Structure 1
């Protein structure tokens, strides 16, 4: 019996099918979740396949509000006056349904080419709006019951019992796009339409790409390969022109903001005043070192003036739209890194500022306040998100790194006193959504020691009702490696860098193991957090099982450590970051169980650039590398991101030359494989092709693998194959 019990408890080994998204067992091994949690005003509800349930805040008890069966019965009836009802097919799931109105018992959902509203009090369909069957980028406005959407390059609006109205001219405008995200999704831009608070207007982006060079992507899946070009403005080249339009729902007329010549300017973070009279846009020059908050008249498009300006000799990077206080419509919150970390500033539209340029705490930053400004948060930490407001207590609910740059914690912030109150556990990463009144949060929390915990959390700082405590199923089923985090000094000798170290499964301190550094190192990315496995990916765990020491270092240049930590790489991408990764390699060599002659490196995108660069710049340290979707020459990268961190090739020739990996092709000593998606729209294939040509001319021999018709990342089964391929490369050449 003792032998049998021991055998029964023996833990298994895991495969890539277990740990890679797209693997056939991956989703069985992530901590349990409660999908479909959302707010119906101040009522927490859960939408699943068959039902939508309400959840009691005090005890978590559930009650059914609406069922899939009753909705399908209403669809089957097809009652008038909604003549489209007979065209609806039975609904298969309620997972994507939402309840936008706290005062109405109505759910909304999209079903194929229709936007549907169902009243579960009356048990009948109360609204059906027809969409184009190719509709994308849906934007629903609950204050006017209308949906904006795009089809191809066109923008449409539809409503209750209406035919869709096309906002842009119906005649073809070659290269002009309406209602979609612009500036290649930089500057916090993720959408292209912006409903006004009362639904009277729809602001939208119009992007003219007709002057932008086509990158000739080729689809090889057709009988004869087909040219499918991308509009791709490379650094220093002509970029697209953006204007902001305003559609008047009542009259159907469109006006454009009178912003002047949009050439070489960026229009970001579009926001509305609560009374719908004004539109605010943060405008950024092409050099990205001077941001202006500009106010426009919504009805006429007239430019009223600049409310705030900020300059930095490296770059200014606005990421967040204005947020008005719900209890005082004359004041809004602006977010800025002018003091070195992203913080909140309260601006008063009814009070003038000093109107003189001042110095920020971060060297080189200057700012000009045309309105009265009051700092709401300060310190060597950053505000990551505004979740909303508790208007009754005049508090803002925020997520921040105040406790640790490895975490996101939740706080209530009193606008008058500046007092911050921690909400929920001090440990770990918290993702949350706020109820309508701001009195409760749905807090989804995890840390290295907590698989997942979901709590209905009051915003007064008290304990809430826990809906779920989930262990990590991998911990109970598999032998897992030891994972630790720590710090060492950066190459500058003063800055602390966080690292994550994973020892091999069944670690033997007397053995000598090969080691791999998994790297990214670029802006807006952080690879180490206090969450499951300290953010280690499934492949890192898999390689530890195969007998590798795995190290990751968040070098200078990466996210959540402040602007100076990030922008020290300005105009010379790769230089400081590589120095810090070499410190990581030196740390590995200091470990008695690491074979210093067998150190490899792997990364994707900016990490692919870093991997290739490390292999070429430090060929005696790194023996094997796998670079995915790498930037090879920043002249080939897109305007917004590339010029922010490198300026233009014309103004920074030395910087571009120093980070052009083709120039180093002859330095390759170890084994380097480059892997790309065949139609990558982010790091276009020209990067890797040009590097291969440089290696041929230099007489060096990298390896190369392409995923035909894949983009910048491999998804689904291709992702499993990708990691099989990467693993084989290290097994063949490093082990």
Structure 2
């Protein structure tokens, strides 16, 4: 009788030793890159479709090279250029091919400006002669080869230049460029941030014309930031930033003729006559408008222009004939709320085009003829097309990514332009994305789910069959095995009449008979997604640390988030911070009703839009949340930029109640719990003004709170030990207050 007892005791003891051997994660490990995933380096398909190039760096020597690899075998076939062989430069940070790939632009000494923009030195490398030549003696922006690679256009100090590679001469296209006044060929701050592009000029396919945008930002109010640095006196960064309801840049479209050396402004029609624009925001939103995209069509003398009214609920597709500079309205997309801008417009050989739209309530693919008449709705159903990859004319197939397998998943599909013969090209449930070769023979599939860090595999585009595995993260999985980690559980929760996606992480020794404090994370910005079938991000390792200390962490994607149809996403229109906050409060209450969650110890945190949300949650939900952390929060949409804010809120002049009733500034008297407010002092996106105003309102309401400013740090609050310090602060706050 004693032997079984001893055996059980031995097993229990062994189990305890094994459990004890599991390590607890530390913040130092998280932010030193211990759990960094191996990612496939950024690659670019060559025109032949059989090979791709990768920018490689030798960590020992610092040399960089552009190396060519075979899609089929993955083996390196040759090197196009190695900085070791170049006397003029030690290394380069980026590259761009000419159209026929016989010349390469090499970027060196890249100097970031804002999120996407930079200045850099460019060199032209001739692949055949192996000669290198520097493109000017100054740092320039957005250098771009002409179609025949005989010239390079670029922007320097807000003016466009063309450098002739044959004779070495440089021609100045525009001469009125001036910092904080006139910009030619690149975008202003708000276009770069919200329309996601910098280069605002485009060669036509024959190299005879350059279409470009001009921004007159002379009437846009200036914003200034003090940067303290390490010198005796701080400096001041001054730039144009149009806040909601204020003056935008006046944008105009111009056509430059290479042969005559002259430019002409394009008349887009009476509806877009800037002469009618004034400081008052017009009711219909016209007069003051945006040009978020220009793109040459399959006809080398026909330019497509997307023009968006200020309310962003009317998008016109206009064709401009570059021979006579006449504009013609081809198609109009309207929406009761707003129209999203994408890069999906694709022209086929006959100049018919592919377009994506939410017109039937879900984002789908449409085919129009060159007159803007609908030929086919290619995809349909109560699911979303989440990425359009392109059209292969040889196979006559369109490739796309969608949520057909559930809103937390992504799969890659192909389909005929008539909407028939659809094929699912990926097999595993999770997040699948594709990078196609130039001729659509192959695609590289990136796959992840909650249990699997990224795996990269090569597939045939015609049927999705896997050719080979390129890269996996099995070493990371082996490393993670040594830690006391819990799974990320995906589920749904019924809140305010909607089934909302949710994930939850519990302590490894979770006991349903015990009560645990709950920390909720969310972002909730329009069209966003925080709950998906994907592997851990950096914050998830932090959540594991907190789970090890006895916390449950959860995230719920409420109304206003994406990939569940237009109505679900756009319900927050003109009311940012209302329905999203209601859903977070209700979700917290429902979770608090569970036996294993202590309803008196529920906290919430978020960054940027999430900071706006967490601030509102602890104020409007002061009987539900006992603690909140807000990092870089918007505290009033009156402080944020025109393009983003007015897309969802219209202007403060038109919708004052929408701005003010959901602003945390106007609810500070409701604060009961513990509140930590954090911001970067050099944030050019969500200005520290937001936090300073919040601080003042809390002080005047005599509400106690904690706050921290990271000097000169931008919206990401990075640099040196900054992130480690930030997460130590937040961890200590949670352990003490929740």
Matched, 1:261 2:284: no
Does structure 2 conserve the Cα–Cα contact (< 8 Å) formed by 1:52 and 1:64?
no
Deviation at 1:508, TM superposition (A): 3.6
Task: Give the one of 717, 726, 731 matched to 1:727.
Answer: 731
Give 1:392 shift. 0.8
Residue 636, structure 1, aligned to residue 639, structure 2: yes
Shift of 1:660: 2.3
Describe the SS at the equivalent of 2:318: strand
The answer on whether the counterparts of 1:482 and 1:504 sit within 8 Å (CA) in structure 2 is no
Residue 705 of structure 1: aligned partner: 708
Give the aligned partner of residue 688 of structure 2: 685
Which of structure 1's runs of 4+ aligned residues deviate more than 6 A? 2-9
Task: Give the root-mean-square deviation of aligned CA atoms.
Answer: 2.8
CA displacement at 1:65 relative to structure 2: 0.3
**Preserved CA contact (<8 Å) 1:497 1:554:** yes
Change (3 A) 1:428 1:725: same
Residue 575 of structure 2 aligns to a residue whose secondary structure is coil
Counterpart secondary structure, 1:666: helix
Find the aligned partners of 1:699 and 1:607 in 2 and give their Cα distance.
Answer: 25
Of 347, 366, 369, which residue of structure 2 is paired with 1:324? 347
Contact 2:157 2:177 in 1 (8 A): no
Match of 2:308 among 263, 267, 284: 284
Contact 2:376 2:418 (8 Å CA) reproduced: no
Look up the match of 1:343: 364
Q: Is the 8 A contact 1:36 1:96 kept in 2?
A: no
Distance of aligned partners of 1:167 and 1:401 in 2 relative to their CA distance in 1, 3 Å threshold: farther
1:382-393 correspondence to structure 2 within 5 Å = 382-393=384-395
Partner residue of 2:651 out of 631, 648, 670: 648
Residue in structure 2 matching 1:203, options 198, 203, 211: 211
Q: Select which of 36, 50, 72 maps to 2:84.
A: 72
Change (3 A) 1:202 1:431: farther
Match of 2:285 in 1: none
- Per-residue deviation, residues 597-650 of structure 1 (Å, max 9, x unmatched): 111110011111111101110111111111011111122221111112112222
Indicate if the aligned counterparts of 1:132 and 1:151 stay in contact, CA closer than 8 A.
no
- Number of residues paired by the alignment? 685
Asked if structure 2 preserves the Cα contact closer than 8 Å seen for 1:49 and 1:68, the reply is no
CA contact (8 A) 2:430 2:448 kept: yes
Q: Deviations over 1:158-211 (max 9, x none)?
A: 352535443321674751122223443334545423333344333222111110
User: Residue 286 of structure 1: CA displacement?
Assistant: 1.6
How far off is 1:18 after superposition?
2.6
**Structure 2: distance between partners of 1:9 and 1:615:** 37
Give 1:452's aligned residue: 454
Indicate whether 1:223 and 2:232 are aligned: yes
Match of 1:476 in 2: 481
Cα separation, 2, equivalents of 1:229 and 1:108:
31
Return the offset for 1:422: 1.3
CA distance in 1 between counterparts of 2:123 and 2:519 reads 50
SS of equivalent to 1:475:
helix
Counterpart Cα distance in 2 of 1:515 and 1:671:
14
Partners of 2:685 and 2:209 in 1: how far apart? Answer: 34
Query: How many Å separate the matches in 1 of 2:150 and 2:735?
Result: 58
Cα offset for 1:398?
1.3
User: In 2 relative to 1, CA 579–637 (structure 1 residues): closer, same or farther, beyond 3 Å?
Assistant: same
Identify which of 151, 158, 162 aligns with 1:153.
158
**1:277: Cα distance to partner?**
1.4
1:396 aligns with 2:398: yes
How far the C-alpha of 1:52 sits from its partner, in A, is 5.2
Residues 1:45 and 2:33 are matched in the alignment? no
Q: Distance in 2 between matches of 1:726 and 1:246?
A: 53
TM-fit CA distance, 1:214:
1.2
> For 1:702 and 1:240, how far apart are their aligned partners in 2?
39
Distance across 2 between alignment mates of 1:225 and 1:98: 38
Cα shift readout 1:36-92 (whole Å, capped 9, x = no counterpart)? 43322212335323565554444x2514402766x633x34xxxxxxxxxxx1243x
Which residue of 2 is the match for residue 667 of structure 1?
Answer: 670
Following superposition, the deviation at residue 339 of structure 1 comes to: 1.1
Instruction: Write the deviation string for residues 278-333 of structure 1: whole angstroms up to 9, x where unpaired.
Output: 22222121222222111212244322x211112222222332352111xx332111
* Partner Cα distance (1:18, 1:251) in 2: 61
SS in 1 for 2:480: helix
Q: 1:9 to 1:451 in 2, by over 3 A?
A: farther
Shift, 1:154, TM fit:
3.1
**8 Å Cα contact 1:665/1:694 also seen in 2:** yes
Cα deviation, residue 441, structure 1: 0.9
1:466-524 deviation digits (Å, cap 9, x = unpaired): 22233234423322123201011231x1x211001011243343432211111111113
Distance 1:171 1:625, change over 3 A: closer
> Is residue 487 from structure 1 mapped to residue 498 from structure 2 by the alignment?
no
Q: State the distance in 1 between where 2:96 and 2:636 align.
A: 45
Could you give the per-residue CA deviations for residues 683-734 of structure 1, whole angstroms, max 9, x where no partner exists? 2222222222222222212222111111222124322222112112112211
The reply to whether residue 309 of structure 1 matches residue 311 of structure 2 is no
| 1:12 to 2:23 alignment | yes
Of 253, 256, 275, which residue of structure 1 is paired with 2:299? 275
Tell me whether 1:110 sits opposite 2:107 in the alignment. Answer: yes
SS at match of 2:255: strand
Contact 1:130/1:163 (CA < 8 Å) preserved in 2?
no
- Structure 2 match to 1:419: 421
Report if aligned partners of 1:248, 1:254 keep a CA contact under 8 Å in 2: yes
Q: TM-score, normalised on structure 2?
A: 0.86
Q: What is the Cα deviation at residue 99 of structure 1?
A: 5.8
Match of 1:241 among 250, 260, 266: 250
In structure 2, the partner of 1:365 is: none
In structure 1, what is the Cα distance between the partners aligned to 2:457 and 2:304?
36
Q: Offset at 1:544?
A: 2.0
How far did 1:670 drift? 0.8
- The aligned counterpart of 1:31 is 37
Change (3 A) 1:54 1:176: closer
Are 1:278 and 1:298, in contact at CA under 8 Å, matched by a contact in 2?
yes
Question: CA separation in 2, counterparts of 1:66 and 1:690?
Answer: 55
For 2:355, the equivalent position in structure 1 comes to 334
> Aligned residue for 1:212?
220
In the TM superposition, residue 250 of structure 1 has moved relative to its aligned partner by 4.0
Of stretches 474-483 and 230-239 in structure 1, the one that deviates more from structure 2 is 474-483
What is aligned with 1:364? none
Distance in 1, matches of 2:148 and 2:481, equals: 49
Distance 2:373 2:662 in 1: 42
Contact 1:127 1:160 (8 Å CA) reproduced: no
- Secondary structure (helix, strand or coil) at the match of 1:687 reads helix
Structure 2 Cα separation of the partners of residues 338 and 171 of structure 1: 40
CA 1:257–1:545: 2 relative to 1, 3 Å: farther
